[in-house]
Amino acid sequence: MQKIRPDMDIGKNIQAIRYQNKMTQEQVIAKLNLMGIPMTKSTYAKLETNRMNIKVSELVALAKIFGTDINAFFSGLL
């Protein structure tokens, strides 16, 4: 099976938005798990460093957690 390679560096934007919301990775992970999005610290760290592709459901959940529009994750990339 061929994997899709990331063509956008949204991990830095996810991290920046998390910092703006003064949240730790652990706090974000706890909220994701409460929302039914299974996430480990290792997996989340890979999302922020672009070593793993993010799922749409995870992106939608992060937007809700951070109280932002999904487009904020793509700011400066399009």
Please report the domains of the chain, with CATH numbers, ordered by start residue.
Answer: 11-74 (1.10.260.40)
pTM here? 0.86
* Residues 46, 17 contacting (CB under 8 angstroms): no
pLDDT of residue 60 exceeding 80: yes
The per-residue pLDDT for range 6-54, each reduced to its tens digit, is 567 899 999 999 999 999 999 999 999 999 999 999 999 999 999 998 9
Residue 25 makes CB contacts below 8 A (sequence gap 6+) with 18, 41, 44, 45, 48
What is the total residue count of the chain? 78
**What Å distances lie between residue 7 and 19, 47, 77, CA to CA?**
23, 13, 10
